[in-house]
Amino acid sequence: MARPLVAQSFNTQVLVVGMTPTPLSSLQLTQAYIDSLILCLYSTAANSIFYGDQGVTTGTGLELPVGVTIELSISNARPAYELQDPLDAITTKVLCQSVKPFEVPFVYWDLTQLYAIAAAPTNIVIAAVKRAWV
């Protein structure tokens, strides 16, 4: 039996970062299940950008210098979840208890909580990588 193929979606968009905190949520909703985010500031940009929460400033944010690309990634490894659930089900059946449903958590970026700011309006490119399996 062959394993099913799942295509990894990839979406790039240009965002103008302003002099007030600019939300990245306009690009993707939380339901998009973004597990990796790539931020690129062109080498021709006039200034750095800073990113953080809604209160980010050029003095408190994490700096993305001119000409730099970074990846913000969440590792969603599923250590032993595939074994844990069936073993829990077997144990509860042997002990004549009711089986509790078990759900594997998935951690993803909530882009409604990520903002960027710059000293002057600056273009950045954002690549949002969605979870390959749902």
Q: Is the confidence at residue 29, as pLDDT, over 60?
A: no
Residue 2 placed within a domain = no
13: confidence class by pLDDT, cuts 50, 70, 90: confident
Task: Give the closest residue to 23 by CA, choosing from 120, 128, 110, 130.
Answer: 110
What is the total count of domains within the chain?
1
Residue 96 placed within a domain = no
Residue 104 placed within a domain = no
- Give the least confident one: 13-27, 49-63, 111-125: 13-27
Q: What is the pLDDT of residues 61-81, one digit of tens each?
A: 999 999 999 988 877 655 556
Which position has the higher pLDDT, 48 or 35? 48
CATH number at residue 118: 2.60.120.770
Residue 93 placed within a domain = no
**Which tokens is 68 given?**
């730099």
Q: Is 70 left (phi over 0), alpha (psi -120 to 50) or beta?
A: beta
Residue-averaged pLDDT of the chain: 81
What pLDDT score was predicted for residue 68? Answer: 92
Residue 80 placed within a domain = no
42: confidence class by pLDDT, cuts 50, 70, 90: very high
Tell me how far the alpha carbon of residue 84 is from its chain's centroid.
26
Q: Is the confidence at residue 134, as pLDDT, over 60?
A: no
Which position has the higher pLDDT, 72 or 51? 51
Q: Residue 29 sits in which domain range?
A: 10-74+109-130
Strands (E), 21-121: 22-23, 34-41, 49-52, 62-64, 69-73, 115-118
What pLDDT score was predicted for residue 73? Answer: 83
What pLDDT score was predicted for residue 102? Answer: 64
Residue 81 placed within a domain = no
